[in-house]
Amino acid sequence: WIPVARRGKVIGFVGTGYQLAGVLTFVVAGQAAELFGWRGALLVPAGILIAAGLVMLMLLENAPQDAHQPAETSGADRIEERAQLSRGDTLWLTFTNPSLWVIGVSLGLLDACRYGYIDWGLAHLKEVQNTGVGMAGLKYAVLPAGGIPGAYLAGWASDRFFGSRRAPVACILLVLLGLCTLVYDRVAHASVPGTIALLVLIGFCIFGPQVLLVGSAPADMARRGTSAAAAGFVNSMGYAGAALGDILTGRSLSGLDGELTDRSLSSLNWEPTFYLWAGWAFASAAAAALLWRVRPTSNKN
């Protein structure tokens, strides 16, 4: 769909919708829980999702030629190339691509940190600032809100200043994410305005590299005819990291050997957990740095 020279900017723009949905999730689900109980937090977003699915079904095109848009290669060429690759060939070309493994490891570590904030951030704010779930949701909505400019500007910067190399921008933002995470717990205890400002910056530093790693980078590094498989492979590693990260976060919060219960939620081990999240951010940056000098080629599809 998109030439390499503009891919970061365009995918970053698409990624802003993902972050906007995140903002609405915290606001809508939080208020629905306040008004209708925990079931409201599940049913109201589900209704919105069904409506969005119907819109996609009616309006989303499957390929550039379906939308009457020019592609980097003609539709006939693309069909011919896809026909030449069997399922086994596609998997082989994907699994033997070392750059995709590096991107996947970096994304997995980032997602471990990201889902720490997403899954546990509200509980942390409720505890340290003694607020209800609705108000905590309104405060926490600024995290994905910060991701809106982060997603777009990270993609734009990778195209504008780094010749469409995604790793430098991702690496810089991930280091900044680690530094912000190291001080977040202290700021949350000390200042509500400071917490909100820091959450905006954290959102910027999470979703900027996240959109690069899930979208632009796999498309850049995929071998010919395997872009979709590359994106799926990298994203699967990201969610594996998220799942493992949640397990380790739970153990860290409960003191490694303990179990999380309603009674223990007021005495969770937040400080070492934030150090753990920061470590994942720094490790993700280190993985991304391995691809610092790698440039995409223009013949990917």
State the pLDDT at residue 42. 87
48: confidence class by pLDDT, cuts 50, 70, 90: confident
181-190 per-position pLDDT tens digit: 999 999 999 9
State the pLDDT at residue 32. 85
End-to-end CA distance of the chain: 8
HSE value, Cβ hemisphere, 13 Å, CA-based, for 135: 8
Q: For the chain, what's the residue count?
A: 301
For residue 186, how far is the Cα from the chain centroid? 25
Q: H or E stretch including 230? A: helix 227-253
Q: How many CB atoms lie within 10 A of CB 251?
A: 17
**What is the model's pTM?**
0.81
Walk me through the domains of the chain, giving residue ranges and CATH numbers: 4-289 (1.20.1250.20)
Which is more confidently placed, 227 or 182? 182
110: nearest Cα among 230, 291, 288: 288
pLDDT at 33 over 50: yes
pLDDT at 80 over 70: no
pLDDT at 45 over 70: yes
Instruction: Report the largest interatomic distance among the alpha carbons of the chain, rounded to a whole angstrom.
Output: 63
59-76 per-position pLDDT tens digit: 877 665 555 555 554 444
235-269 per-position pLDDT tens digit: 999 999 999 999 999 999 987 555 655 545 557 88
86-141 per-position pLDDT tens digit: 889 999 999 999 999 999 999 999 999 999 998 898 889 888 888 877 677 777 77
State the pLDDT at residue 76. 44
Token reading at 211:
């959109």
State the pLDDT at residue 202. 97
What secondary structure letter does DSSP report for 266? G
Contact 238, 101 (CB under 8 A): no
CA distances from 190 to 56, 118, 195 (A): 44, 21, 8
Tell me the average pLDDT of the chain: 84
19-32 per-position pLDDT tens digit: 787 777 777 887 88
Contact 236, 253 (CB under 8 A): no
Token reading at 279:
């470590």
Place of tokens 């223990």: 264
22: nearest Cα among 107, 139, 145: 145
92-104 per-position pLDDT tens digit: 999 999 999 999 9
HSE value, Cβ hemisphere, 13 Å, CA-based, for 301: 17
Residue 161, judged by CB atoms within 10 A of its CB (0-12, 13-18, 19+), counts as exposed
Distance CA 36, CA 43 (A): 10
State the pLDDT at residue 2. 65
Radius of gyration of the CA atoms of the chain, in A: 20
